């Protein structure tokens, strides 16, 4: 068994309050959890309005499935938010 993790750093220049940011984060995290059955949460930069850092983790049986799942999640995040993906870090342990 492997643990697949992916961290997204997103930039949302139109966000001007933590309330706006929280709405984006909650929506994206809920969609990820419902669609992929993964653990997802905002993991850093909670006090910065325009930067969103979301971590996603899942247990997978092998590396091939981890790569496939992370590709699907990456495409999903890109298509379900207007925020720009600044950085994406993948790891399989």
Contact 70, 90 (CB under 8 A): yes
Q: Are 54 and 25 in contact (CB under 8 A)?
A: yes
Assigned CATH for 2-92: 3.30.70.1120
Whole-model pTM: value is 0.90
Return all residues near 41 (Cβ < 8 A) that are at least 6 apart. 29, 54, 55
Q: Specify the pLDDT at position 65.
A: 94
| pLDDT class of 46 with cuts at 50, 70, 90 | confident
Summarised one tens digit per residue, pLDDT across range 23-45 is: 999 999 999 999 999 999 999 99
3 state SS of 64? helix
41 sits in which H/E element: strand 39-44
Question: What is the residue extent of each domain of the chain?
Answer: 2-92
């Amino acid at each position: 068994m492997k643990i697949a993790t992916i961290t997204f750093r997103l930039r949302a220049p139109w966000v001007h309050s933590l309330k706006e940011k929280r709405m984006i984060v909650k929506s994206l995290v809920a969609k990820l959890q419902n669609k992929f059955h993964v653990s997802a949460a905002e993991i850093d930069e909670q006090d910065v309005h325009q930067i969103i850092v979301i971590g996603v983790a899942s247990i997978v049986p092998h590396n091939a499935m981890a790569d496939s799942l992370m590709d699907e999640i990456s495409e999903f995040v890109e298509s379900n938010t207007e925020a720009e993906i600044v950085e994406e870090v993948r790891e399989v342990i």
